[in-house]
Amino acid sequence: MKLYFWIATLLLVASHASAEPFAAADAKAGKALVDKNCISCHAASFGGDGSAIYTREYRKVKSPKGLVAQIRNCNTNLGLKWFEDEELNVAKYLNQTYYKFTE
Ligand code: HEC
């Protein structure tokens, strides 16, 4: 019986470790950052609030890791100098709202 408990615990820990890299981030803080820094450009090309860039048929981002990488690209291009936790907050927000990769 005890063995089953440990196997279950290990599985739980393992599945948690392989979850999206931003599982513990703060989506609300991420939204504030996106609203402030990220909409103008996307909106200029896609109209509305620009969010169609995240849901377009040929969107570039295909995985949680890819999402973090793309956020880092746009962030670096813009010279925003975000900290990693800010990038992860934004990743969490965009994932919850648009990409919906499973945690
Ligand atoms: C200077 C203009 C500009 C700003 C400001 C900008 N982006 Fe982008 N972003 C782009 C362009 C252009 C693309 C499309 C790149 C492509 O198709 O190769 C893009 C694509 C993306 C994508 C990928 C969409 C997909 O196809 O899945 C994400 C995610 C993203 N941006 C996040 C951000 C975040 C977060 C910010 C705020 C830090 C931001 N962007 C600010 C120009 C901008």
| 99 touches ligand 1 (CB under 6 Å) | no
Residue 16 lies in a domain: no
pLDDT at residue 71, as a whole number: 96
| 68 touches ligand 1 (CB under 6 Å) | no
Structural domain including 95 reads: 26-99
Do residues 64 and 20 lie in contact, with contact meaning Cβ atoms separated by under 8 Å? yes
Count up the domains in the chain and report the number: 1
Do residues 54 and 98 lie in contact, with contact meaning Cβ atoms separated by under 8 Å? yes
The CA 51 to ligand 1 mean position distance, Å, reads 10
Residue 19 lies in a domain: no
pLDDT at residue 9, as a whole number: 56
Spatial distance between the Cα atoms of 25 and 53, rounded to a whole number of angstroms: 22
Residue 10 lies in a domain: no
User: Each residue's pLDDT tens digit in the chain (103 positions)?
Assistant: 666 655 555 555 554 444 678 999 999 999 999 999 999 999 999 999 999 999 999 999 999 999 999 999 999 999 999 999 999 999 999 999 999 998 5
